[in-house]
C-alpha cells in the first residue's frame, strides 16, 4: 500500500537526536500516575524529554504529574487550557517540543518499557510510525466484552489509507508541524484525519510491532457510550473532507445489517452486564453516524 512501508525498508532518516514525548491531559487523576510510572521505566538510553500538556485540568492531575519530576528530570508541564480539545493539546505540545522526533501517548494508558526504544529505531525508517496495542493488562473481562477489540497487527486503515493510532504514534517534528492535528476534530477520527493528510502530502508511514502501549478501556457505561457516539459523529465529517480524495462511503448494506442485529438482540438490555454494554456500544456508534451524517450533510450510515 502506498504510504505504508515494511519493517525491512531502507533508512529514510537519521536516528533522532532528542525525542519529545507528549502526553495531553485533562482530569486524568485516576490513571495518570500509572502512565508516569510506565514512562519512568523506559529502557531507552538516548536523550528524551516529557511534555505533559494541561488541557484544562480541574482535579489533581497536574499535582500527580509534578510529583514525578525527580524520577523524570526532563518533565515539563505545558499550558494548553485556553482551548479545549485533544488536538489543540497535541499541537501545543508540538510547538513546545525541543526534540526533532515526537512520540505521542495518552494519560490513561501505559506504555511498555521498550516503547520508546522501538519508536527511536523505527523513526529512521519512516516519517510517521504507529505501534501495537495490548488489550488485557489494564482491562477487566467486562470492559473487554464491551469492546471486543483485537490486536492491530499493522497500521489501521481508513479506506485505503494507513494511519497511526493517536495514542501510540511517533512523528518527526517537521512533519508534525507541516501536517498538524486538525483542531476541528475534538475527539474521534483525529488520527484518521492526520493519516489522510500525511499520506496525501507524500509522507511515509510504518507499523512498529515492538512499540506497545497497554490500552485502557472505559470502565463505566456512560463513558463508553459517550466515547463511541463521538467516534460515530466524527466519521461523516472525515468522509466529507476526503470523499473526493478516495475515501469510500460506508456500506449502506452493512449499516442495515447492523441495525437488524440491534433490533434482533434488543433483549441484551435485560441480559448480563457484558452483553448489555456491547449492545449499547454498537447502538451509540450507529446513532453517532446518523447524527454526524445530518450535521455534515453526507450519507455515512
Domain match, 15 and 91 both: yes
Domain match, 196 and 77 both: yes
Domain match, 125 and 242 both: no
Residue 229: what pLDDT?
97
Q: Does residue 266 lie within any of the structural domains?
A: yes
Q: What CA–CA distance (Å, rounded) separates 138 from 115? A: 17
In the predicted model, what is the mean pLDDT of residues 247-262? Answer: 96
- Mean model confidence pLDDT for the chain: 95
Residue 2: what pLDDT?
40
Domain's final residue, options 188, 214, 240: 214
Indicate the pLDDT class of residue 8, thresholds 50, 70 and 90: very low
| Residue 5 pLDDT greater than 50, yes or no | no
Domain's final residue, options 151, 181, 214: 214
Domain match, 205 and 262 both: no
| Residue 1 pLDDT greater than 60, yes or no | no
Per-residue model confidence as pLDDT tens digits over 170-190: 999 999 999 999 999 988 899
In the predicted model, what is the mean pLDDT of residues 40-49? Answer: 97
Q: What CA–CA distance (Å, rounded) separates 139 from 31? A: 13
Residue 10: what pLDDT?
58
Q: What is the DSSP string of 256-296?
A: HHHHHHHHHTGGGGGS-HHHHHHHHHHHHHHHHHHHHHHHH
Domain match, 101 and 189 both: yes
- 8 or 104, which is more confident: 104
- CATH code where residue 207 lies: 3.90.550.10
**pLDDT above 90 as % of the chain:** 94
Q: Does residue 199 lie within any of the structural domains?
A: yes
What angle in degrees, to the nearest 10, is found between the helix axes of 221-242 and 273-296?
30
Q: Does residue 43 lie within any of the structural domains?
A: yes
Q: Does residue 301 lie within any of the structural domains?
A: no
Residue 33: what pLDDT?
98
Residue 67: what pLDDT?
97
165-192: b or e for each residue (b if 16 or more CB lie within 10 Å)?
bbbbbbbbbebbeebebbbebbebbbbb
Residue 283: which domain range?
221-296
Q: Are 218 and 181 in contact (CB under 8 A)?
A: no
Give SS3 for 120.
Answer: helix
Q: What is the DSSP string of 16-85?
A: -SSEEEEEEESS-TTTHHHHHHHHHT----S-EEEEEEESS--SSHHHHHHTTTTTSTTEEEEE--SS--
Per-residue model confidence as pLDDT tens digits over 116-138: 999 999 999 999 999 999 999 99
- Nearest C-alpha neighbor of 193 from the set 107, 90, 78: 90
Indicate the pLDDT class of residue 9, thresholds 50, 70 and 90: low
| Residue 145 pLDDT greater than 90, yes or no | yes
Q: Which three cell numbers stand for residue 183?
A: 483542531
**pTM of the predicted model as reported, rounded to 2 decimal places:** 0.93
Domain match, 106 and 255 both: no
Domain match, 126 and 234 both: no
- Residue 281 CB coordination number (10 Å): 21
Q: What CA–CA distance (Å, rounded) separates 63 from 261? A: 46
Per-residue model confidence as pLDDT tens digits over 60-106: 999 999 999 999 999 999 999 999 999 999 999 999 999 999 999 99
C-alpha distances out from residue 194 to 93, 109, 185, 214, Å: 16, 21, 10, 22
Q: What CA–CA distance (Å, rounded) separates 69 from 182? A: 31
In the predicted model, what is the mean pLDDT of residues 227-243? Answer: 97
Domain's final residue, options 163, 193, 214: 214
What angle in degrees, to the nearest 10, is found between the helix axes of 252-264 and 273-296?
140
Amino acid at each position: 500500500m502506498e504510504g505504508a512501508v515494511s519493517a525491512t525498508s531502507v533508512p529514510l532518516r537519521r536516528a533522532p537526536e532528542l525525542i519529545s514525548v507528549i502526553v495531553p491531559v485533562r482530569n486524568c487523576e485516576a490513571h495518570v500516575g500509572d502512565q508516569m510510572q510506565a514512562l519512568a521505566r523506559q529502557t531507552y538510553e538516548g536523550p528524551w524529554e516529557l511534555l505533559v500538556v494541561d488541557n484544562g485540568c480541574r482535579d489533581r492531575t497536574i499535582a500527580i504529574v509534578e510529583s514525578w519530576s525527580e524520577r523524570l528530570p526532563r518533565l515539563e508541564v505545558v499550558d494548553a487550557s485556553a482551548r479545549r480539545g485533544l488536538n489543540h493539546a497535541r499541537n501545543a505540545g508540538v510547538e513546545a517540543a525541543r526534540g526533532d522526533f515526537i512520540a505521542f501517548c495518552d494519560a490513561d494508558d501505559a506504555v511498555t518499557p521498550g516503547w520508546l526504544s522501538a519508536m527511536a529505531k523505527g523513526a529512521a525508517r519512516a516519517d510517521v510510525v504507529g505501534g501495537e496495542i495490548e488489550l488485557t493488562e489494564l482491562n477487566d473481562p467486562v470492559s473487554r466484552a464491551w469492546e471486543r477489540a483485537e490486536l492491530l497487527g499493522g497500521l489501521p486503515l481508513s479506506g485505503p489509507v494507513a494511519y497511526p493510532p493517536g495514542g501510540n504514534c511517533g512523528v518527526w517534528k517537521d512533519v508534525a508541524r507541516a501536517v498538524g492535528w486538525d483542531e476541528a476534530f475534538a475527539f474521534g477520527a483525529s488520527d484518521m484525519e492526520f493519516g489522510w493528510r500525511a499520506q496525501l502530502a507524500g509522507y511515509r508511514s510504518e507499523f512498529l510491532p515492538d512499540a506497545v502501549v497497554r490500552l485502557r478501556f472505559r470502565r463505566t457505561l456512560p463513558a463508553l457510550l459517550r466515547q463511541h457516539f463521538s467516534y460515530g459523529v466524527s466519521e461523516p465529517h472525515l468522509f466529507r473532507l476526503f470523499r473526493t480524495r478516495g475515501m469510500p462511503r460506508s456500506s449502506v448494506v452493512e449499516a442495515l445489517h447492523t441495525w437488524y442485529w440491534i433490533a434482533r438482540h434488543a433483549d441484551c438490555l435485560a441480559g448480563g452486564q457484558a452483553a448489555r454494554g456491547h449492545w449499547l456500544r454498537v447502538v451509540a456508534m450507529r446513532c453517532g453516524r446518523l447524527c454526524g451524517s445530518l450535521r455534515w450533510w453526507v450519507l455515512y450510515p
